[in-house]
Structure 1
Amino acid sequence: MTQQKELTNPALSMGSFVKPMIIGAGIALLVISFFVFGVDAPHPDWGKYWRARPLIVTPLAGAMGGAFYAFMVYQSSRGFNRTLAILLSLIVYVIGLWLGIVAGLDSTMWD
């Protein structure tokens, strides 16, 4: 009679998502700050608080990119190719960051 070993996979927990999400949001905040705080004379049609939308929307997009990275790291621990997972995460993050910048700056700097 042979004994079978149970394979254990690392658990997917909320704690494993928090750090990559914070890092992704921080990078996105730095990128959008470069654009937003570089404006010397904003257009009068943009309103008084035009900076709020891009400073909220873009870090949220970055946080979602970080969450996708954490998910792909989890998938790589379950057998998915690690190099492909990191490459796919980087591509998804850059595209998500670009879309977050466009959505944040819509009707202000991106018109």
Structure 2
Amino acid sequence: MAQQNESQNQSTHSLSVVKPMLIGAGIALVVISFFVFGVDNTPAEWGKFWRIRPLIVTPLAGAMGGAFYAFMDYQSSRGFNRTLAILLSIVVYFVGLWLGTVLGLAGTMWD
């Protein structure tokens, strides 16, 4: 019986990491979509498929910010200050989102 309980705890823990990552990636996708799909006339030197890079890179950065939130949530359950963990997670998420946006738009809109 003890082995079954350990496997249930392990699957619950892995799901708790996926949910914040999906939420972080979703928020990042919405943010970058405002920039990418708001452009009407694109210069020819940007290329035909210039939108693909920002739509991949920025949500990946958002997912990493969500993973950091899950890590800090785990640390707060082990005794780390909960308020500090949430504030640190928010700061890291926004810095990561900004860096992901810059990296995604480098050479096109961020020039």
| TM-score, normalisation: structure 2 | 0.89
Instruction: After superposition, give the CA deviation of every residue in 1:59-102 in whole Å (9 maximum; x if it has no partner).
Output: 00000000000000000000000000000000000000000000
* 1:97-108 correspondence to structure 2 within 5 Å: 97-108=97-108
Other-structure match for 2:31: 31
Other-structure match for 2:88: 88
Distance 1:13 1:51 in 2: 35
For structure 1, the 5+ residue unaligned runs are 1-9
Other-structure match for 1:58: 58
Distance 2:14 2:61 in 1: 18
Please say which structure displays the higher CA radius of gyration.
1
Distance 1:106 1:43 in 2: 14
Partner SS for 1:13: helix
Distance 1:93 1:48 in 2: 30
Distance 2:13 2:102 in 1: 31
Deviation of the 1:15 alpha carbon:
1.3
Deviation of the 1:31 alpha carbon:
0.2
Other-structure match for 1:18: 18
Distance 2:72 2:15 in 1: 15
Other-structure match for 1:5: none
Distance 2:107 2:57 in 1: 14
Deviation of the 1:13 alpha carbon:
2.8
| TM-score, normalisation: structure 1 | 0.89
Distance 1:93 1:46 in 2: 28
Other-structure match for 1:41: 41
